[in-house]
Structures are given as structure tokens and as C-alpha cells.
Amino acid sequence: MADNYPQPLLVDTNALVARSLARAGVDRMFGVVGIPVTGLANRAVAHGIRFIAFHNEQSAGYAASAYGYLTGRPGILLTVSGPGCVHGLAGLSNALANAWPMVLISGSSDQRDVGRGDFQELDQIAAVKPFSKFSVKATNITQIPSCVFQVLDHAGSGRPGGCYLDLPSDVLHQTVTEAEAEKLLIDAEKERKQEGVKIVSNSEIEKAVSLLRKAERPLIVFGKGAAIARAENSLKKLVETTGIPFLPTPMGKGLLPDTHELAATAARSLAIGKCDVALVVGARLNWLLHFGDPPKWSKDVSFILVDICEEEIELRKPCLGLVGDAKEVVEMINKEIKEDPFCLGKSHPWVEAISKKSKENVLKMEAQLAKDVVPFNFLTPMRIIRDAIVGMGSPAPIVVSEGANTMDVGRAVLVQTEPRTRLDAGTWGTMGVGLGYCIAAAVASPDRLVVAVEGDSGFGFSAMEVETLVRYELPVVVIVFNNGGVYGGDRRDPEEITGPYKDDPAPTSFVPGAAYHTLIEAFGGKGYLVGTPEELKSALAESFAARKPAVINVTIDPYAGAESGRLQHKN
């Protein structure tokens, strides 16, 4: 009887995708399941990949991109077709903007039904085009291992970014034998290749070092490109052997401790306004760095740009461009300096000027921070949070931050002492990243507490993911600065408030007194409502020690913060 013969073991596409991912070292996946990818999520779990299931693909995508940043390996987002893929574009585009490695994998329509109005039909390859470095549709199970490796390799090499893999539902149902599957995997592994990166020549390194050596007011600027390249030790050596002051971009904070004596963070305007040579490592001269233009920068400044992407350097010419991985290039610079070392020293006029200005600004800020202002302004609770975070010691908590006033004040007040411990709205100033980033951080660094400091508007974009925190029991404490809306209260001029809808809430206003802390209680997490320094201190002490999901709703004066100067009419 034919039935008595052993049948060859069959592997379907779901299993082969999971196996290819696992073979490539993927250990986490973020996403939202449904037809046709639920099987893929289950197969991934069976292959030892932790699947973090979200409420919304936007948050899951932000999580995947941040996971890529924190680990240096592409974060994976899994979505269904059509609307799932479209929601995933938020994460994909944010990954591209931040130059973080990520792969979006979406199911798509059966290839035979394309153009006939199939369930959740969309030309996803066209949809991802503006937001991805590379995309590919697998049209047959035999292509799976090769397609999986290609998206991973493109996402993670060269300048990192988002890549896309399209899995039509008919392909998801195809099978091969176990022996064929293994052969496909082995063949595809042999073909794997990383994007070639041009590496800077020794003569360019010599030029850079000579520029730095001759500079009267040199500055070292670094950003999240240096963070992803794990250049912290090389940068520390460079800064400490040369005595050149440094300035991190917001997410570069922590590569060297904010408390370092050569940190120019508190003297930023002076540092960028007066430096004559700026070595910029893994940071783009975009809006965050005022495009490198006057009047913020001196018109005579010479830039030395270290970037993995040659086109980025071409864009910014004239400058001396050093193409390559930030860590490798800084190590080459260190080696060249070692031949003939130089150090500015504490009494160098430039170092002294920066140090003096920093101290002045820090003293001014600390005088403001020392006051206990109630109802809370932004500074008082931020100081209390800073002290609680610093009190945690090492490994330092990962700080996630979004919002307008809340993020700006947090950037100035919170202290980063360890690399890759700050995640914020980033290059795009994206609101809604907070909860996804918290989840990615907790999953990537289980030894660290995660503390989110969020505006109430920023928080609201992805607030339902507090359930995800509770479900996976992640050690995340979300602190919401509740000032009743975007930037705070209704800040319109009375003359502006006319017309038939004048009695509607202002476009910036949310329900006053929103009880955000009760949201997490709906799922069994811990909520706190605080309005005084004592209440906040006690909520922080308790939730930090518990290392369990919590939301602290901090009542902030709706008229504190940036635009309060315009609010005289309210008095």
C-alpha cells in the first residue's frame, strides 16, 4: 500500500521564512497578525524568535526600528497586507529618516487575484518605494531564503535603513521538501553579501588630523550614526588624548557622559558659533545642526565629516569627507594622532571659554531647577525624575522621550552617562514613537529599566500599547506630563476665537484632567496621579524599585512652558 511509504517531510513558506530569519540571527519580531501572516508569527516563535504582538503596526514599526538601532541588527516588523502594510510605513519611513536598520515583512494578495479587488489588495512594492532602501517580492517558495537574506543584508549594511519583503498569500501556502528547504538555505547563505563601503584613505586621515592640529577652536560633534557604529570608546580616546571639547546630538548623548569635563552641551551656542574646525562623526548637517550654516555656525568653519554614506558627504561639500564606519574612521584618526600626539589642555583659551560658559549656564539652570514650583512647571518634575534616574546608577535606565516642551526640557535636564540610553522623536521629530521605543528598549536590554518622559499628546498617539507593556511584564515606567494638550492649554489670542465653532475646544486642547494613569490600570498595571514633589518622588521610588509596567500621570500647569509669555491675557 502506497500509504505505508514514509512521506517526505514538507516545509511551507511560513516555516521557511521563520527558519531563514532564525538562521540569520534574528531573535525578535514585532507586529500585528491576521490573514495571511498569523502562521508566520507562530512559526517564528517555534523557531526561537520572540514575537511581540502590538495593537497597531505604527507602534510595532517604531519598535522594530529602535530595536535595530539599539542592537545594530535589523529589527523586524510583520504586518498583514493593505492597511497593515500602510500602517507599517510609519516605522519604515522613520527608520529611513533616522538611518536605523529595519525590515518590514508584509503578507500580500494572492498573485492570481491581483487587480480584481482582492482582500486588502495593494501594490505594496510601489507603496514602500519612497521609504525603503531595497524591496523584493518573493514569487515562489524557492526564493525565500535568498529574499530574506537580501533584505536583512541591505537593511544592515552601508547606511542602515528600512527594507521590505513582500510575501503573496499563495506563496505562503507553497511547500518544498525538508531536503530542498535545507539546500535552498545553504545555497542562499553562500550568496550573502554586505554592501561594499568605501574606506577612507590614509592621506585623507592625515589631512583631517592636520586640520584638527592647526585649529584654534576645534570641536567634535557626534550623533546616532556614531552610536550605531559603537564608536564610544574610540571617541572617548580621541577626546581625552586631544582635549578637544565635544557636542553630542540629542541621541548621541551618552556616548561620552554628559558630565564629562569636555562636554560642550551646556555651551552649545558658543561651541558651534565659534569653532573653526568641526569634526562631525555619524551626524548629518541637517536641521538639528542648523545645516552647518551661518549665523549659528561661523561662516569660516571647516567641516570634517565622517559618514558611512558617500552621497551624504557630496551633499555637504565643501568639506573634508571621511567615508567609512564611524568607529573604524575614529580609530584611524587616533592611530594617526598617536604618531605625534597633541593635547589642548585645560588652560587652552578655547577649552577655558567653553568650560566657563558651561559652568555659568549649568549654574543658571540649576538655580531654576532647585525651586519646587507647584502647580508643577516643567523643570521641577524633570529635576526630580533626573535625580531618580541618576540614583539608579549603572546599568543606567534607557530614557525614551517625546513631546514638545516635555522633550525639549528633558533633553536639557536629563543626564545621559551611557551609550544608546536615549531614544527620542529623532530626525523627523516623530510623535507617537514613545511606547514602541519603550517596548523595543525593554526587549533589547532586559537588564535596564526603561523610563519614558512624554508629553500627554505624544503619549496619546500610542497609549493603547500600555496593554502590551503589561502583557509582556516589561520594566517600563511611563511618565506623562499632563498639561491638557499639544503644548498645553488654549493659547489662542481672544481675537482669534470667532466663528460658528468658537466654543469648540482649541485644536491644541484635550479633555482637561485626563486620568491617563487609569488607562494602564484597566489592564492590571500600576497607575499614579501626582501633583507635588513628594507624590512624584514616592511614585518614582516605588515604580523604579518594582520594575513593573506603570504610568505616572504628572499634573502640569497648562500655562507653563514655551508659549506662556503670550498668555498675559489669561491673568
Ligand X SMILES: Cc1ncc(C[n+]2csc(CCOP(=O)(O)OP(=O)(O)O)c2C)c(N)n1
| 358 to 243, 257, 269, 379, 414: CA distances (angstroms) | 16, 15, 10, 19, 16
25 CB-near residues (< 8 Å, 6+ apart): 73
Q: Considering CB under 5 A, how many residues would be counted as binding Mg ion? A: 4
Beta bridge partner(s), residue 175: 12
Interface pick for ligand NAG out of 482, 509, 543, 564 (rule CB under 6 A): 482
Q: Is 456 in the site for Mg ion (CB under 5 A)?
A: yes
Q: Is 146 in the site for ligand NAG (CB under 6 A)?
A: no
Q: Which helix (H) or strand (E) holds 540?
A: helix 533-546
Query: From the list Mg ion, ligand NAG, ligand X, none, which binds 174 (C-beta under 5 to 8 Å, kind-based)?
Result: ligand NAG
- Is beta strand 422-424 parallel, antiparallel or unpaired with respect to 450-455? unpaired
Neighbours of 216 (CB within 10 A): 12
Q: Is 93 in the site for ligand X (CB under 6 A)?
A: no
Which of 73, 69, 66, 18 is closest to 41 using CA atoms?
Answer: 18
Smallest gap, in angstroms, from Cβ of residue 214 to Mg ion?
48
Say which amino acid occupies 535: E
Q: Is 406 in the site for ligand X (CB under 6 A)?
A: yes
CA angle in degrees (0–180, nearest 5) for 276-282-288:
70
| Closer to ligand X by Cβ: residue 432 or 436 | 432
Torsion sign across C-alpha atoms 57, 62, 68, 74: positive
Query: From the list Mg ion, ligand X, ligand NAG, none, which binds 430 (C-beta under 5 to 8 Å, kind-based)?
Result: ligand X
Interface pick for ligand X out of 404, 414, 453, 519 (rule CB under 6 A): 404
Q: Is 489 in the site for ligand X (CB under 6 A)?
A: no
Say which amino acid occupies 304: I
By CB atoms closer than 10 A (0-12, 13-18, 19+), residue 143 is middle
Q: Is 505 in the site for ligand NAG (CB under 6 A)?
A: no
Interface pick for ligand X out of 487, 516, 528, 544 (rule CB under 6 A): 487
Torsion sign across C-alpha atoms 531, 535, 540, 545: negative
Distance between CA 503 and CA 479 in Å, rounded?
A: 31
Q: Is 508 in the site for ligand NAG (CB under 6 A)?
A: no
| 485 to 455, 458, 547: CA distances (angstroms) | 8, 9, 28
Query: From the list Mg ion, ligand NAG, ligand X, none, which binds 436 (C-beta under 5 to 8 Å, kind-based)?
Result: none
- Mark residue 69 as left, alpha or beta (left: phi above 0; alpha: psi -120 to 50; beta: remaining): alpha
Which positions from 374 through 403 interact with ligand X, judged by CB under 6 A? 403
| Closer to Mg ion by Cβ: residue 142 or 483 | 483
Q: Candidates 106-114, 190-198, 249-257, 449-457 — which segment interacts with ligand X by CB under 6 A?
A: 449-457
Q: Is 481 in the site for ligand X (CB under 6 A)?
A: yes
Q: Is 513 in the site for ligand NAG (CB under 6 A)?
A: yes
Distance between CA 62 and CA 440 in Å, rounded?
A: 8
Interface pick for ligand NAG out of 553, 559, 560, 564 (rule CB under 6 A): 553
Q: Is 483 in the site for Mg ion (CB under 5 A)?
A: yes
Smallest gap, in angstroms, from Cβ of residue 551 to ligand NAG?
12
At residue 211, φ and ψ (nearest 5 deg) are: -60, -45
| Closer to ligand X by Cβ: residue 106 or 430 | 430
Q: Where are the alpha helices (DSSP H) in 221-309?
A: 224-228, 232-242, 268-274
Q: Considering CB under 6 A, how many residues would be counted as binding ligand X? A: 17
Q: Is 512 in the site for ligand NAG (CB under 6 A)?
A: yes
Interface pick for ligand NAG out of 234, 401, 555, 564 (rule CB under 6 A): 555
Closest residue to Mg ion, judged by C-beta, is 455
Smallest gap, in angstroms, from Cβ of residue 449 to ligand NAG?
24
Q: Is 61 in the site for ligand X (CB under 6 A)?
A: no
| Closer to ligand NAG by Cβ: residue 401 or 553 | 553
Q: Is 30 in the site for ligand X (CB under 6 A)?
A: no
User: Which position has the grid cell 532564525?
Assistant: 22
Query: From the list ligand X, Mg ion, ligand NAG, none, which binds 56 (C-beta under 5 to 8 Å, kind-based)?
Result: none
Smallest gap, in angstroms, from Cβ of residue 404 to ligand NAG?
15
Interface pick for ligand NAG out of 319, 388, 407, 556 (rule CB under 6 A): 556
Q: Is 59 in the site for ligand X (CB under 6 A)?
A: no
Q: Where are the beta strands (DSSP E) in 269-416?
A: 277-281, 302-307, 320-323, 398-402
- Is beta strand 302-307 parallel, antiparallel or unpaired with respect to 75-79? unpaired
First to last CA, the chain: 93
For residue 519, the SS3 value is helix
User: Which position has the grid cell 518544498?
Assistant: 176
Q: Is 140 in the site for ligand NAG (CB under 6 A)?
A: yes
Binding footprint of ligand NAG on the chain (CB under 6 A) = 140, 142, 174, 482-484, 512-513, 515, 529, 553, 555-556
Binding footprint of ligand X on the chain (CB under 6 A) = 403-406, 429-432, 455-458, 481, 483, 486-488
Binding footprint of Mg ion on the chain (CB under 5 A) = 455-457, 483
